[in-house]
Amino acid sequence: MAQMAISRATPMVVASTRAVHTVAIRTRSPVSLGLARVGSVRGAAIPQQRVVQCRATSAETEKVKSVKVAEPIATLGAVVGLGWASEAQALEQVFGDVALGLDTSVQLLYLSALLALLAAGSFLVVRQVLVRRELETTAKDIGEKVRSGRAESEEYFELGVVMLRKKSFTQAIKNLEMALNTWDGEPEEKAQAYNALGYAYFQQEKFPQAVKEYKQAVELQPGYVTAWNNLGNAYEKIKQPEQALEAYQETLSYAPDNEIAKQRADMLSRRLTRLQRM
């Protein structure tokens, strides 16, 4: 089986309430998880219209009427998807009201800004669709090997990672355990599977089991900084601050500039000092 080079590992970062929880993973066809929540304009304050009295010739009036702000917005909203239709309407109202009474060049400037915003939003939506499609394709291809009994430990591991990214943690645990039971690669690479399994248990709030898997990972690969941080986070969840501090200190012994470990170790040190003085 081809070696799973750690240099090709793709990090998966999941924010927790206390620390960043990370799984270093490698897949055959890696797909970036760089999804971003697109800002919504729902609830934005819509300015009241001002009645501007002015004199204008009929020719000037026709010129202003020729600038149609709402039409391209509605079209883009329909292209992006149903989820964007109401946002496009809100944007139309905000930008349209602001543009009232302004000359044509300023109206076009507002329209350009609106179109740029909608274009960026549509790109993020399309990117999410492509990521999901890639995950589905990968899961289908590897799943066929698993069902036919032709899967090796690497395929089980990759399928487990895909299930993690799809947040199907029960299926992830099943496939990662199969990967570990049939592992025929290097022990150091096996640490990645233990770390991924610990992450799956952590997401199910099975923190003692997560601690067990993370400890297996750092025993096989002592310099596995990600697993040390994950272990410290899991220890915090089960109210064992001393062990958590030791885990973060291990991280700092290998990576002195690791910000997560520095912040958590400092906080735990101060907490333990206060407890000792009580």
Q: Tell whether 51 is covered by a domain.
A: no
Evaluate if residue 156 carries a pLDDT over 80.
Answer: yes
- DSSP secondary structure, the chain, as one string: -----GGG-EEEEEE-SSSEEEEEE--SS-------PPP--TTPPPPPP--------HHHHHHHHT--SHHHHHHHHHHH-HHHHHHHHHHHHHHHHHHTTS-HHHHHHHHHHHHHHHHHHHHHHHHHHHHHHHHHHHHHHHHHHHHHT---HHHHHHHHHHHHHTT-HHHHHHHHHHHHHT--S-HHHHHHHHHHHHHHHHHTT-HHHHHHHHHHHHHH-TT-HHHHHHHHHHHHHTT-HHHHHHHHHHHHHH-TT-HHHHHHHHHHHHHHHHHHH-
Residue 93 and residue 63 in contact, taking contact as beta carbons nearer than 8 Å? no
Q: Tell whether 143 is covered by a domain.
A: yes
Tell me what pLDDT residue 116 has: 78
Q: Tell whether 254 is covered by a domain.
A: yes
Place of tokens 């496939």: 175
Evaluate if residue 33 carries a pLDDT over 80.
Answer: no
Out of 184, 216, 244, a domain closes at 184
Tell me what pLDDT residue 103 has: 61
Tell me what pLDDT residue 144 has: 74
Place of tokens 């025993």: 219
Out of 132, 153, 184, a domain closes at 184
Q: Tell whether 154 is covered by a domain.
A: yes
Tell me what pLDDT residue 5 has: 36
Percent of the chain at pLDDT above 70?
A: 52
> pLDDT of 182-209, one tens digit each?
998 888 889 999 999 999 999 999 999 9
Evaluate if residue 212 carries a pLDDT over 70.
Answer: yes
Out of 165, 184, 203, a domain closes at 184
Domain total in the chain: 2
Q: Which domain holds residue 229?
A: 186-277
Same domain, 198 and 262: yes
More confident residue, 176 or 85: 176
Evaluate if residue 90 carries a pLDDT over 70.
Answer: no
Same domain, 244 and 205: yes
User: pTM higher than 0.85, yes or no?
Assistant: no
Same domain, 192 and 179: no
Evaluate if residue 153 carries a pLDDT over 50.
Answer: yes
Same domain, 172 and 193: no
User: CA dihedral defined by 88, 89, 91, 92, rounded to 10 degrees?
Assistant: 120
Q: Tell whether 257 is covered by a domain.
A: yes
Tell me what pLDDT residue 81 has: 43
Tell me what pLDDT residue 65 has: 44
In angstroms, the CA 162 to CA 73 distance is 37
In angstroms, the CA 233 to CA 91 distance is 42
In angstroms, the CA 71 to CA 64 distance is 15
pLDDT level of residue 276 (50, 70, 90 thresholds):
confident
Tell me what pLDDT residue 244 has: 97
